[in-house]
């Protein structure tokens, strides 16, 4: 873990209460897609943990949702604002386990956690198949970034609950009964009910799930984000947020 100062280079609304922020600073400790950073908000005791959307040397992109006063204050930050950020946190996705036909499944805001991984896999020639689920078309703010990866071998399908974009239904409805046998590995992030249903539908497929949880400290000291696993209690901020899907015990749903 490292404490750094980052400068806001861009902070713009995407719609549906989501914002995209570009931060410039020391990114050396952000090593894995799916990890997160912990941002201090002046006047707030707890930091805000935000998934990394994309990282490049000296620049990290996050997509965050305004769900309370802290993130609402972040949405007002202008370019040049200096943010106190903890990096080197959490366990990200292991892209080396993907095989040549990985499946990427994202639900709602969880799709933000998967973009960097999808880009990594597409640019390395591993042809990721992407399925994304949203409540409606207005929430699909990540879609064009994913579609741009089709140039590099990715395929992208979406579902919306109201049928306003893609297929009508849930992200799990995009999976046929034989589909899990077509893929080599599964990466997923989204609400717990979605992940549980996805795990049941892809029982034969190894994979990793990124869990969403309320965090206190963000680095494993307070134990506030612990979940039950086959290895005992595990902290989402420390042993996660990415877990092997077979080790998650679903009693926390």
CATH of domain 2-89: 2.40.30.10
- CATH 2.40.30.10 in the chain, residues? 2-89
pLDDT of 223 higher than 50: yes
Given this model, what pLDDT does residue 46 score? Answer: 92
31 in Cβ contact with 52 (< 8 Å): no
Q: What is the pLDDT of residue 216?
A: 81
Judge contact between 175 and 203, C-beta under 8 A. no
Q: State what percent of residues in the chain have pLDDT above 90.
A: 89
What span, in angstroms and rounded, lies between the C-alpha atoms of 147 and 129? 11
Given a cut of 80, is residue 14 above it in pLDDT?
yes
Cα-Cα-Cα-Cα dihedral sign, residues 4, 121, 91, 146: positive
Q: From 1.10.760.10, 3.40.50.80, 3.90.1150.10, 3.30.460.10, which CATH number describes the 95-252 domain?
A: 3.40.50.80
b/e 133-142 (16+ beta carbons within 10 angstroms → b): bbeebebbbb
> Distance (Å, rounded) from C-alpha 11 to C-alpha 38?
17
Low-confidence winner among 29-38, 46-55, 137-146, 175-184 (lowest mean pLDDT): 175-184
Q: Facing residues of 235 across strands?
A: 226
Predicted pLDDT at 10: 98
Which residues of the chain does CATH 3.40.50.80 include?
95-252
3 state DSSP class of 87: strand
Q: How many helices (H) and strands (E) does the chain have?
A: 4, 15
- Residue 253: its pLDDT value, please? 46
Question: What is the rounded CA–CA span in Å between residue 53 and residue 65?
Answer: 13
């Amino acid at each position: 873990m490292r404490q750094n100062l980052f400068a806001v280079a861009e902070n713009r609304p995407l719609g549906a209460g989501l914002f995209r922020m570009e931060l410039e600073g020391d990114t050396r400790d952000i090593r894995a897609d799916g990890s997160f950073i912990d941002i201090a908000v002046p006047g707030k005791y707890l930091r805000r943990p935000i998934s990394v959307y994309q990282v490049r040397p000296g620049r990290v992109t996050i997509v965050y949702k305004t769900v309370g006063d802290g993130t609402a204050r972040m949405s007002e930050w202008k370019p040049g604002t200096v943010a106190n950020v903890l990096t080197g946190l959490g366990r990200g996705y292991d892209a080396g386990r993907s095989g040549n036909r990985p499946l990427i499944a994202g639900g709602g805001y969880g799709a933000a956690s998967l973009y960097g991984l999808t880009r990594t896999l597409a640019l390395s020639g591993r042809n990721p198949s992407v399925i994304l689920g949203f409540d409606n078309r207005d929430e699909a703010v990540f879609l064009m970034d994913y579609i741009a990866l089709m140039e590099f071998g990715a395929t992208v399908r979406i579902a919306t609950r109201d049928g306003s974009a893609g297929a009508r239904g849930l992200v799990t409805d995009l999976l046929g009964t034989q589909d899990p046998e077509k893929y080599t590995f599964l990466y997923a992030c989204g609400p717990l009910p979605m992940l549980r249903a996805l795990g049941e539908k892809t029982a034969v497929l190894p994979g990793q799930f990124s869990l969403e949880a309320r965090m206190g400290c963000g680095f494993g000291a307070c134990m506030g984000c612990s979940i039950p696993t086959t290895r005992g209690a595990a902290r989402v901020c420390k042993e996660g947020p990415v877990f092997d899907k077979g080790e998650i015990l679903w009693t926390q749903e």
